[in-house]
Structure 1
């Protein structure tokens, strides 16, 4: 539990700084600007295919940070790097504001005890803190700190994200916190916690 006490305050402190500085966008303007995103993420932010994340209802600070990281190539994905290349700070804020007010469609997943354990209490023997400590008991994240909501996201996408952190393919997490956690999770544990988090509403 010592590891959890050390890791959680530092994450909140780092992400709170970003959340406080992130500009508020205009959702009405963002609706038009988001049209080029609809092919993958859906007109209302509910992606049709689980290989793409649902953006509907996600915190604007988190979405803004990801778009900024794609633009700067701090987060690497050829398609998203190209899409974000021409976005201004105002564009990013407006698009994030539009998706924030959309309603995410819920996922129905099978109940699994392992996933619930990892999410709610963590795995002390592997120094893995509870996901709920940062992402909240209902998986709704933290708006002010820019911590993403996980509930109703595609389980396949959540699993991909954890695997990308584990392999180092994704490395834009604050202080390498998610990479550290993901590297300690087995494939079975990643699948289980992804399914559980996706089923939260």
Structure 2
């Protein structure tokens, strides 16, 4: 009886671990690079903005970046420039941009004090 309980528990744990990975929809980083031209004006060619007023996108988690884009699009985040830029993006466009920027090497940045 105990062995069956352990086997069942192990199976449930494996299934639970697989759910998050299956639920994440991945983007196409190559297509994201093609779409990133507008983003690069503020965030830099690889997402490592030189100006501390603009967030660094490089190396961020793809799901975070995609969520942030959706939030700008639906008004949960408020920034007139970003809302205008993302207004015409599809869900796939946002996933592709997120895949591109998350795959870039993030530069460390320490603000001057």
Q: Structure with the greater relative contact order (CA < 8 A, sep ≥ 6): 1 or 2? A: 2
Instruction: Report the TM-score range of the alignment, normalised by the length of the smaller protein.
Output: 0.7 to 0.9
Cross-structure match for 2:71: 69
Structure 2 residues not aligned, in runs of 5+: 1-18
TM, length-normalised to structure 2: 0.76
Cross-structure match for 2:84: 82
1:60 maps to which of 52, 59, 62 = 62
Could you say which structure has the larger radius of gyration? Answer: 2
- Superposed, 1:152-167 pairs within 5 Å as 155=111
Cross-structure match for 1:99: 101
Q: List structure 1 runs of 4+ shifted beyond 3 angstroms.
A: 17-22
Alpha-carbon separation, structure 1, partners of 2:107 and 2:20? 27
- Superposed, 1:1-201 pairs within 5 Å as 21-108=23-110, 155=111
CA shift for structure 1 position 106: 1.5
CA shift for structure 1 position 23: 1.6
Residue 81 of structure 1 aligns to a residue whose secondary structure is helix
CA RMSD of aligned residues (A): 2.2
Aligned length: 95
Q: Deviations over 1:25-55 (max 9, x none)?
A: 0000100101110000001000010000000
Structure 1 residues not aligned, in runs of 5+: 1-16, 109-154, 157-194, 196-201
